[in-house]
Structure 1
Amino acid sequence: MLKQVAIIALMGMSASAMAGQWQVKVGGSVIAPTTDSDVAGVGTVKADHEFAFTPSVEYFFNDNISTELLLAAPINHDVSIDGADAVKIKHLPPTVTFKYNLKNSTRFTPYIGVGGTAFVAWDEKTKGDLADLGAKVKVKEDFGFAGQIGFNFQPADAKNWGVFFDARYAQLSPEVKVKVGKDTIAKFDLDIDPMVYTLGYSYKF
């Protein structure tokens, strides 16, 4: 419950901003899960690495303080059990971070941020042996904390444009339930905890 409240509060504070500078960022990301789940009676469950289009919107309260909302396109993850394909998950990862931008005399602006993230899954499908059994899978929404570090670089001839790179960490372990008919044959937390590495362009209004 506390995680959900934190996410809602962060999003509400971001949406309430009415004046200041806005920045739009468009990038491509690698979503790299950092952990897997050893589930008793099931095996080692692991989500694969994926690529995604990850635009975001950022609001600057002043030169140093900003808040950023990540609006990624839907992401597909293939999930394996002991190396064999088992489940395909489509999800959205909306993420809000409050950032401190270290303004300095160079054209590089490093930044660091903390906030919250969500895992909103749909269109889950079984694959391989589970599909042959007629099994159905359901992945529950999850909420967690997020961290971010990166930099924005503005070339000498660019007034508003820039290039950025950042790395985010998301704490996510959605609950997975697998059923055959009305019987639940497996229930576990899928430890994903991904790192998200993003490279792209920024434009400040």
Structure 2
Amino acid sequence: MLKQVALISLLGLSASAMAGQWQVKVGASAVAPTESTAVSDLGGLEVEAKNELAFTPSVEYFFNDNISTELLLAAPINHTVTAAGVDAVKIKHLPPTLTVKYNFKNSTGFTPYIGVGGTAFIAWDESERGPLAGTDVSVKEDFGFAGQVGFNYQPADAKNWGVFFDARYAQISPEVDIKAADGTRVAKFDLDIDPLVYTIGYSYKF
């Protein structure tokens, strides 16, 4: 649903705005959760998402030299969640993120930027193991705040190509529901993830 809304928003740009520039970015990201959760229904068991790597392309539209909007897309991420340090659940998810950015354009090829917006956590294909083997774990969608800082560097002889690095923060705490094989609820809680996402890659503007 969020991806459809974002696509419609991009396609709905006015005719005057279409005079701007598009940029595509292809990067590799390290996803580093910053929080963990003590689950009272499981006797205070510590549950947390592990660090993961991801392929994260994005598309960006520049309204002018300073203002742009960027839609982060990613290949499905396989995220492992541990319980008391033991792998307990593997979740596939998508993290579509839309931010509005201010680019500090200057006379050099080095352009820092900051951005704010929203993100989503769209999960499916939960696979239980270890201490949760034999249970049914479901993870709901979640939506939250997103922020980013970074820079794009375009060498003088590179024409439209450049390289970039940025760091993003996403405020994500999806609801997790664990049920026994007979349908009895074992636990229900919000899994605090709130990851930092570090990305490096190539950009191309046209």
TM-score by length of 1: 0.92
Matched length: 199
1:84-108 superposed Cα distances (whole Å, 9 cap, x missing partner):
1111111000000000000011110
1:42-191 correspondence to structure 2 within 5 Å:
42=42, 43-131=45-133, 134-180=134-180, 181-191=182-192
Alpha-carbon distance in 2 for matches of 1:87, 1:98: 34
Alpha-carbon distance change, 172 to 45 in structure 1, aligned in 2, over 3 angstroms: same
Alpha-carbon distance in 1 for matches of 2:11, 2:104: 23
Contact 1:29 1:52 in 2 (8 A): yes
1:16 maps to what in 2?
12
Contact 1:162 1:203 in 2 (8 A): yes
Alpha-carbon distance in 1 for matches of 2:143, 2:41: 26
Alpha-carbon distance in 2 for matches of 1:41, 1:85: 19
Q: Give the deviation of 1:14 after TM superposition.
A: 3.3
SS in 2 for 1:178: strand
Alpha-carbon distance in 2 for matches of 1:8, 1:145: 19
Paired residue type of 2:10:
S
Alpha-carbon distance in 2 for matches of 1:175, 1:15: 32
TM-score by length of 2: 0.92
Alpha-carbon distance in 1 for matches of 2:35, 2:104: 31
Alpha-carbon distance in 2 for matches of 1:12, 1:126: 36
| Structure 2 residue ranges without an equivalent (≥5) | none
RMSD between aligned residues: 1.7
Paired residue type of 1:143:
F
Alpha-carbon distance change, 169 to 8 in structure 1, aligned in 2, over 3 angstroms: farther
1:195 maps to what in 2?
196
| Structure 1 residue ranges without an equivalent (≥5) | none
Q: Which runs of 4+ in 1 moved over 2 A?
A: 7-15
